[in-house]
Amino acid sequence: MSSSAAAPLNDGRVQDRIENYSQFWKKDLQKEEDKDNKNRLDQYTDVVNGYYDGATGLYEYAWSQSFHFSRFYKGEAFLASLARHEHYLASQMCLRPGLRVLDVGCGVGGPAREIAQFSDAEIVGLNNNDYQIHRARKYTQKMGLQNQVTFVKGDFMKLSEQFGENSFDAVYAIEATVHAPSFEGVYGEIFKVLKPGGVFGVYEWVMTDDWDPSIPTHKELAHRIELGSGIPEMRPMSAARDALTSVGFTIEHQEDLADRPDAIPWYYPLEGDIRKAQTFWDYFTVWRMGKSGQFVSHNAMWLMEKVGLLPKGTYDVGESLKVAGEALVAGGQTKLFTPMYLVVSRKPKA
């Protein structure tokens, strides 16, 4: 996949890479010899950007401006649970007024705005996707938070080049660094831009310690998550732990929050079972995720793409989101996958 012939749309999306996303995976599935995922690791920027150019509108429509999962209390509304998940990370990291904080892979800025309001810290959101930055700035301006929350374009594999070393008091990443071609690479860059004594908090997508890639069904599950979510390579939890310590971090706290004995599992909205909706408004969210909701939105997308209201390839990216939804639920039910491996680590004082 090459972006050289890419046709930019006027909102930051790039036509060719959305179309190429599904083509890329079709080819990838046929390439038995690419056992080490070399193509995907080499081309992570275009693969991930193609995915988000196509998926962002759907994420916002079906989920919210926060593109992550969360735990649920009984009776807790969907949006309240997303916010609580963000507050939890901020409180574990002790974010507070006066700190300059980097949000790595910030999406359209839902968590950055929420964490800024919760902690009073200054947040810089970093994202490699123009379309999402464009939307993040618009929403932030609308909320009047533009002096506290700003957004910059950049690749999280090159943070030190962009910001210089020792430039942030704290860094967090919510369900984003899984898109990196290697955990060592992205965590190493985060380590460099943190000031000595600074804290890094992450909710990481990983396969749990029960996952065994030598078992074909386990390997296939990881592959379906990769394909459906624009991920170059799903890795085990131990890889995240090892990478953090190998780049120099001291791990202060780690926990798979999906392992808490919650009555309502994190993946319940994806199951599309409206009987599980926790509040009246959540019926709509859960319906949108279910079969009838998907039928409506996917047909609408097909039509909008045909009449030119959506860029070509968006429908196919939507199809891959269906694959993701099913795979993520299966991963959650079998506890082979978690989207909320929480690790709080610190850069030692010099």
Ligand X SMILES: C[S@@+](CC[C@H](N)C(=O)[O-])C[C@H]1O[C@@H](n2cnc3c(N)ncnc32)[C@H](O)[C@@H]1O
3-class SS of residue 94: coil
Binder of ligand X out of 66, 70, 81, 208 (CB under 6 A)? 66
Tell the smallest beta-carbon distance from residue 39 to ligand X (Å): 16
Tell the smallest beta-carbon distance from residue 214 to ligand X (Å): 28
Does 67 bind ligand X (CB under 6 A)? Our answer is yes
**Amino acid in position 78:** F
Q: Quote the CA–CA distance of 220 and 277 in Å, as a whole number.
A: 30
Does 272 bind ligand X (CB under 6 A)? Our answer is no
Binder of ligand X out of 95, 101, 106, 327 (CB under 6 A)? 106
Exposed e or buried b for every residue in 146-155, given b needs 16+ CB within 10 A? Answer: eebbbbeebb
23: Cβ–Cβ under 8 A, 6 or more apart, which residues? 1
CB 127 within 8 A of CB 149: no
Q: Quote the CA–CA distance of 286 and 41 in Å, as a whole number.
A: 34
State the chain's maximal CA–CA distance in angstroms.
Answer: 59
Does 1 bind ligand X (CB under 6 A)? Our answer is no
**Of 128-187, which residues contact ligand X (CB under 6 A)?**
128-129, 132, 155-157, 174-176, 179
Find tokens 């392992």 and name the residue.
259
Fill in the per-residue mask, 177 to 216: x = in contact with ligand X (CB under 6 A), - = not in contact: --x-------------------------------------
Neighbours of 321 (CB within 10 A): 21
Tell the smallest beta-carbon distance from residue 155 to ligand X (Å): 4
Task: Rank residues 64 and 166 by Cβ distance to ligand X and give the closer one.
Answer: 64
Footprint of ligand X on this chain (CB under 6 A)?
Answer: 48, 52, 66-68, 105-107, 110-111, 126-129, 132, 155-157, 174-176, 179
